[in-house]
Amino acid sequence: KAGVTQTPRYLIKTRGQQVTLSCSPISGHRSVSWYQQTPGQGLQFLFEYFSETQRNKGNFPGRFSGRQFSNSRSEMNVSTLELGDSALYLCASSWDGHNQPQHFGDGTRLSIL
Amino acid sequence: DAKTTQPPSMDCAEGRAANLPCNHSTISGNEYVYWYRQIHSQGPQYIIHGLKNNETNEMASLIITEDRKSSTLILPHATLRDTAVYYCIVRFHTIGGGSNYKLTFGKGTLLTVNP
């Protein structure tokens, strides 16, 4: 069974640009969550999608947004990039987002110059 | 979710058992203990989870004390590839409602397996 796939693996952008990251969950999983990981803050929850709806959201500014498609694939968008957005962005999927383990992809490493 | 306390780092000799402790003294009745690990430059990998009984799978064993205030993850025969940061997470399981959508990661334990 294929795992969670995130593309691209690496990305370099400059301040002010926007970026879109993609996540394909494990087949059959309907919940997709996004996390940001930085050396200083560790892993922080961004948002969770289930059946094309954002179900939960963490404490991030509105520049961070996402969506989920009918096949459960998800995208995350960050607009007006700032230096502090440099991080590893991780996607995790689970069957329903509740009492099941979340399985992570290997992330997208975003660097802002 | 309840907080957990883990040692920042541990060493283990290759081929020996690695025993990683975790304290979760404020755990409540329907909170499960989850373990993940993160190898450098990869995403966190789910290892195992349990409520109160000991659990074992192909990767590891989880021993939870009777009062559920602490647990130990056991890697029976550590290899160099087990070098990683190990996270102990307490997460409640919903019963008829509520949401436990997110995992709250602490700083974890850096396990270094030495040849």
Residues B44-90 pLDDT 10s: 999 999 999 899 999 999 999 999 999 999 999 999 999 999 999 99
Could you read off the pLDDT of A32-78 as tens digits, one per residue?
A: 999 999 998 999 999 999 999 998 899 999 999 999 999 999 999 99
Query: Which one of B41, B101, B106 has the shortest CB-CB distance to A97?
Result: B101
Interface contacts (A, B; CB < 8 Å)? 54
Please answer yes or no on whether A45 and B100 come within 8 Å at the CB atom: no
- pLDDT band for position B100 (50/70/90)? low
Question: According to the model, what pLDDT value does residue B2 have?
Answer: 58
Residues with Cβ within 8 Å of A66's Cβ and at least 6 positions away in sequence, in order, are: A34, A46, A47, A49, A54, A74, A75, A76, A77
At B1 the pLDDT is 55
DSSP state of B5: B
CB atoms B99 and A55 under 8 Å: yes
